[in-house]
């Protein structure tokens, strides 16, 4: 690992830690640090307050390098932030947005938000050195283009790079929403776990794969597209044309549909009441009914968790990750959900695969996406510049 | 890539090719080659005959380094060979063996075979510099131990390393049967494909994973254990305790069982005849009946291929490999089998995952295992010695 890489993956480190992480001698680490400071790539801050008294000088990526922009676009929201190279958030804004409105409307709003955030920080567009964006659809990473995105009509072939390039000189990197979350979690973990998964459960179901300390995108960039893994060959028909995809059987819309059916069939007084009042049932209504002890709602959430766990069991058998981190709006629908996913994975995976497997909520939660966008932008920008391998 | 790595992955290369592969200048490549020749790690052979006339001098790993032993143990056979460091086969022997007889009987026979092969080549045990072994069960790679191997009772916790260490000073590396096949195919491909799968279909079903040009073993070494992925939640009960595992529904024993049922139910005159003559039906009998046009046998083989394809579709959606190579005794059971697997994968995977996907027989076939054992032994031995990263 190079000295710059070591500092990139840390939240700041002393020269002694740098030597340890890189395997360099103290004097070689000192030379490397001094050279990077002279080149304007590292800053050395003064002693930091800590519980253990005076902390040694701390190396971070230099703020003189410029800023990073992260844009995490979801199906119905966008999360934009500016970061310094040490990944401190400088300005942040989130708002609802409909990705189905198409790239023209969505990206012009993104540009407005970015300009507003820059103004708040007093920085010009030239000071942004890298832009990372996460999108809720399949991406060809090298070309930065969406490929047949099911919930993003009008985006296929649209060059987000060219559009943002009108205002920014910085390179633009685009990846799907779960890969940027995986990148965010990898950055948070200081790249300590070599092999883990980040599974996002919302309107759809997707998976970010970390393999040997890097985001694994597969031969065509579609690795992690687990939403259409079959969990019941005789199950419901999915919009993809096949039957029994985990997404159509267990994601947000399926939970809402099952809730509506339970309400109409007189199986849940609570949900029947919601249906009458609101005219429809949302996944979160089922979650709330479940937390209130509603038997039908409990059964729906357990079934959804069981099916997702069944899909994840296949993935765990194949990939044998150390951790499976869950995120996305549906993942927090209630305590039974996580328990049911866990039970299903442990039941259907081989003992050797699950002996040390941890299944937990993604620690960064909703913030993982936008942090991952910025971390990806920084890593890829430094690669383009030839300073990171 | 280091110069030694480049030569390791080639079947011999000129100094010009070495410069190209490593990205070194011609003079730096020359210096590296000369230094490795001086250290006894590379040989430079004379001009080779080729269709294009005189070929430049060729660099190969030096035979003065010693020999590699490959031991590919299957459920009912063993394949042992000695190789020079450029992976030329020096001596080879295969014979039937029952892995269920336990490590004492099996390994004493392996030692005899190894001694016999050495004698044929006139080499002493000290000249063997690395031993690689593939076994049909889950392996903890670092410790070289089998972990709860379903078809290898008596092998759990048995130290193959210590046993072979009584006669050989060389380090012993053990991996499962499909990982060594994947290693063999990666060596054959000169490490050109970064992400592919090798799927072995026989009595069981397993998968070797090549990810970013390396064998991916997962967090506990169990990556690729795809035999217990569920293809039908209401399907037959497997010895693992779950229902509908692809192995119990579609591997060799399932094909034999379905063939027996067809014979008994009067659905196949051909298979009924086999059952009467032999007293039982083997998978290859179903294959032969299918090649003869037997309708029931065709249906069995198509169903098996369909279920395996369904499991592989999940894996392809998740992993997005460029190639899926099929091997193992059952994979050649008949032309309908491969066609059925292909159809099932293409139908159940997303278009982006299959756009460039190739599904084919493993090019090295049965030889992949023993070649992979030796390639693994060489790579790991050179890593232990600190000459490969």
Which tens digits make up the pLDDT trace of B243-289?
999 999 999 999 999 999 999 999 999 999 999 999 999 999 999 99
Which tens digits make up the pLDDT trace of A259-301?
999 999 999 999 999 999 999 999 999 999 999 999 999 999 9
Which tens digits make up the pLDDT trace of B193-244?
999 999 999 989 999 999 999 999 999 888 999 999 999 888 999 988 889 9
Strands (E), chain A: 42-45, 58-61, 67-73, 77-83, 89-96, 128-135, 139-140, 145-146, 172-176, 196-201, 205-211, 214-215, 323-327, 358-361
Which tens digits make up the pLDDT trace of A106-136?
999 999 999 999 999 999 999 999 999 999 9
What is the structure's pLDDT at B151?
81
What is the structure's pLDDT at A55?
53
What is the structure's pLDDT at A181?
97
Q: Backbone phi, then psi, for B134, in 5-degree steps?
A: -105, 135
Averaged over B88-94, what is the pLDDT?
96
Q: Is B345 on the interface with A (CB under 8 A)?
A: no
Q: Which residues on neighbouring strands pair with residue B192, listed in sequence order?
A: none
Averaged over B71-89, what is the pLDDT?
94
Nearby residues of A88 by Cβ (< 8 Å), 6 or more positions away = none
d(CA A242, CA A302): 24
What is the structure's pLDDT at A50?
52
What is the structure's pLDDT at B49?
53
pTM for the model? 0.91
d(CA B33, CA A15): 37
What is the structure's pLDDT at A56?
65
More confident residue, B8 or A161: A161
Structure tokens at A66: 């410029």
Q: Which residues on neighbouring strands pair with residue B326, listed in sequence order?
A: B199, B361
Nearby residues of A210 by Cβ (< 8 Å), 6 or more positions away = A182, A185, A186, A193, A194, A195, A196, A197, A198, A216
Gap from A153 CA to chain B (nearest CA, Å): 16
Gap from B115 CA to chain A (nearest CA, Å): 35
Which residues in chain B have Cβ-Cβ distances shorter than 8 Å to A224? Answer: 318, 320
Averaged over B333-338, what is the pLDDT?
92
Which tens digits make up the pLDDT trace of B95-153?
999 999 999 999 999 999 999 999 999 999 999 999 999 999 888 888 999 988 878 88
> What CATH class is the domain B190-361?
alpha beta
Which tens digits make up the pLDDT trace of A134-146?
999 888 888 999 9
Residue A90 half-sphere exposure toward CB, CA atoms < 13 A = 23
pLDDT band at B56 (very low <50, low <70, confident <90, very high): low
Among A216, A219, A232, whose Cβ lies nearest the Cβ of B356? Answer: A219
Could you give the 3-state DSSP secondary structure of residue A244?
Answer: coil
Sequence-separated contacts (24+) of A103-110 with Cβ below 8 Å: A103/A154, A103/A155, A103/A158, A103/A160, A103/A163, A106/A73, A106/A78, A107/A160, A107/A163, A107/A164, A109/A78, A110/A71, A110/A73, A110/A78, A110/A80
How large a percentage of chain B has pLDDT more than 70?
A: 97
Which residues in chain B have Cβ-Cβ distances shorter than 8 Å to A226? Answer: 314, 317-318
Residue A209 contacts residue A197 (beta carbons within 8 Å)? yes
d(CA A188, CA A178): 15
What is the structure's pLDDT at A387?
81
d(CA B31, CA B16): 12
**CB within 8 Å: A233 and B310:** yes
Average pLDDT in chain A: 92
- Token pair 């009509």 is at which residue? A153
Judge if B66-187+367-384 and B190-361 fold alike in CATH terms. yes
Among A229, A233, A310, whose Cβ lies nearest the Cβ of B317? Answer: A229
Could you give the 3-state DSSP secondary structure of residue B289?
Answer: helix
In the stretch 222-241 of chain A, residues with CB closer than 8 A to chain B read: 222-226, 228-233, 240
pLDDT reading at B388 higher than 90: no
d(CA B197, CA B195): 7
Domain boundaries of chain A, sorted by first residue: 3-64, 66-187+367-384, 191-363
pLDDT band at B55 (very low <50, low <70, confident <90, very high): low
Averaged over A4-12, what is the pLDDT?
86
Could you give the 3-state DSSP secondary structure of residue A334?
Answer: coil
d(CA B380, CA B299): 45
> What CATH class is the domain A66-187+367-384?
alpha beta
What is the structure's pLDDT at B220?
86
CATH topology of domain B3-64: Arc Repressor Mutant, subunit A (1.10.10)
Which tens digits make up the pLDDT trace of A224-256?
999 999 998 889 999 888 899 999 999 999 999
d(CA B79, CA B89): 12
pLDDT reading at B48 higher than 70: no
Q: Is A389 on the interface with B (CB under 8 A)?
A: no
CATH topology of domain A191-363: Nucleotidyltransferase; domain 5 (3.30.420)
């Amino acid at each position: 690992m190079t000295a710059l890489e070591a500092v990139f993956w840390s939240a700041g480190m002393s020269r002694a830690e740098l030597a340890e992480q890189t395997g360099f001698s103290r004097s070689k680490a000192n030379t490397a640090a001094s050279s990077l400071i002279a080149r304007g790539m590292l800053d050395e801050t003064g002693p930091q307050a800590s519980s253990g008294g005076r902390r040694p000088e701390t190396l971070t990526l230099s703020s003189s390098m410029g800023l990073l922009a992260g844009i995490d676009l979801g199906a119905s929201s966008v999360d934009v932030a500016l970061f310094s190279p040490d990944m401190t958030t400088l300005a942040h804004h989130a708002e609802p947005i409909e990705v189905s409105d198409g790239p023209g409307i969505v990206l012009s709003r993104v540009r407005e938000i970015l300009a507003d955030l820059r103004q708040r920080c007093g920085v010009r567009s030239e000071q942004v050195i890298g832009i990372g964006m996460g999108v809720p659809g399949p991406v060809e990473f090298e070309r930065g283009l969406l490929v047949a995105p099911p919930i993003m009509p009008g985006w296929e072939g649209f060059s987000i790079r060219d559009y943002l390039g009108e205002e920014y000189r910085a390179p633009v990197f685009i990846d799907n929403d779960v890969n940027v979350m995986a990148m965010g979690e990898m950055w948070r973990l200081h790249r300590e776990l070599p092999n883990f998964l980040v599974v996002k459960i919302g309107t759809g179901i997707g998976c970010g794969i970390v393999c040997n300390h890097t985001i694994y995108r597969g031969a065509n960039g579609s690795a992690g597209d687990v939403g259409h893994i079959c969990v019941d060959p005789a199950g419901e028909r999915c919009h993809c044309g096949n039957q029994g995809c985990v997404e159509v059987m267990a994601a947000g819309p399926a939970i809402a549909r099952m809730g509506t059916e339970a309400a109409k069939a007189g199986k849940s007084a609570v949900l029947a009441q919601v249906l009458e009042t609101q005219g429809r049932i949302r996944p979160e209504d089922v979650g709330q009914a479940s937390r209130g002890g509603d038997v039908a709602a409990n059964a729906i959430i357990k079934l959804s968790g069981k099916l997702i766990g069944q899909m994840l069991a296949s993935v765990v058998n194949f990939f044998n990750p150390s951790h499976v981190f869950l995120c996305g709006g549906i993942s927090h629908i209630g305590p039974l959900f996580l328990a049911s996913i866990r039970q299903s994975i442990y039941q259907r995976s081989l003992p050797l695969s699950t002996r040390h497997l941890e299944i937990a909520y993604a620690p960064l939660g909703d913030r993982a996406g936008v942090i991952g966008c910025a971390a990806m932008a920084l890593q890829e920008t430094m690669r383009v510049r030839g300073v990171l391998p």
